[in-house]
Amino acid sequence: MPQITDQNNIKTKPIILLDRDGVINYDSDAYIKSVDEWQPLPGSIKAIAALSKAGFRVFVVTNQSGIARGYYDEAELLAMHQKMMALVEAEGGTIEGIEYCPHGPDDGCSCRKPLPGMIESIESKINADFTQTQAIMVGDSKRDLEAGHARGCHPALVLTGKGRDSQYKEFNFYFDVYADLAAFALATLHKFA
Ligand SMILES: [Mg+2]
Ligand SMILES: [Zn+2]
C-alpha cells in the first residue's frame, strides 16, 4: 500500500480494524457462545498489544448473529469482550473500540458485514473518513474484506479461522495475505516504523 508521510517524514500509521472470530480468537461452526469458549489464537493478543503500543489505533468489527439466533445474549458477549480487552491490557495495549452486529442475515440491518455500517460508525465516532485516512481491515472471511473495501480500507486476509477457505474465493479487489494476526502485526510494525 502507498506510504503516506507527514511533514516530518514520519509514516502515518493506518487505523487497524480487526474481525474477531478466526482472527483474534478460535472460531467454531457452533459459534463462540460463552466466555469460556472465547480462546485467543496463538500470538493474537501480543500482536494487538504490540500494534497499540506502537501507536496504531485498534478497533474490532464483528458480526455476532449468534445473538439473533439466541445462542448467547449481549451480556455474555460483553463478558467475552471484557476478557479480550483485559488480556490485551495485561500486555500493555488497548482496543479502542468494539463494534458488533447482533442481527441475523435476514434482519435487513446495515451493520452486518459485508455491509460497512460498523466501519462507518467507527468513522463517525473518531471523526475520520477511511477513503481519506488510511485504514486496514483484517479478516478471515470474504465479507470482512468486502466491508473494509467498501469504505476504502486496505483489505488484509489472515489464514487462521476461515481464511484458508476464503483465500481463493473470487474477489474484485486486491488484498494482502498473512499467516495470522501476529504475522500481520510484525509486517505492519516494520512497514510503518
Ligand atoms: Mg471471522
Ligand atoms: Zn446488524
Nearest to 113 by CA among 101, 96, 130: 101
Domain that holds residue 57: 15-191
Residue 2 forms part of a structural domain: no
CATH number of residue 52's parent domain: 3.40.50.1000
The ligand minimizing its distance to the Cα of 165 is 1
Residue 7: is its pLDDT beyond 60? Answer: no
Instruction: Please report whether residue 56 resides in a domain.
Output: yes
Write the pLDDT tens digit of every residue in 98-135: 999 999 999 999 999 999 999 999 999 999 999 999 99
Ligand closest to Cα of 64 equals 2
Query: pLDDT grade, residue 166 (50/70/90)?
Result: very high
In a domain, 64, yes or no: yes
Q: What pLDDT, in 10s, does the model give residues 44-81? A: 999 999 999 999 999 999 999 999 999 999 999 999 99
**82 found inside a domain:** yes
Strands of 89-153 (E only): list them. Answer: 97-101, 135-139
Domain count, the chain: 1
Cβ within 8 Å of residue 171, ≥6 positions away: 142, 145
Residues forming the active site: 19, 21
User: What percentage of the chain reaches a pLDDT higher than 90?
Assistant: 93
Ligand 1 mean position, distance from CA 128 (Å): 24
C-alpha cell at 103: 442481527
Average pLDDT of the chain is: 95
**180 found inside a domain:** yes
Residue 134 within any structural domain of the chain: yes
CA of 41 to the centre of ligand 1 (A): 12
Residue 7 domain flag: no
Residue 6 lies in a domain: no
Q: How confident is the model at residue 193 (pLDDT cuts 50, 70, 90)?
A: confident
In this prediction the pTM is 0.95
Question: 39 exposed, middle or buried (CB, 10 Å; 0-12, 13-18, 19+)?
Answer: exposed
pLDDT tens-digit readout, 140-151: 999 999 999 999
Look at residue 109 in the predicted model and tell me its pLDDT: 98
CA of 15 to the centre of ligand 2 (A): 22
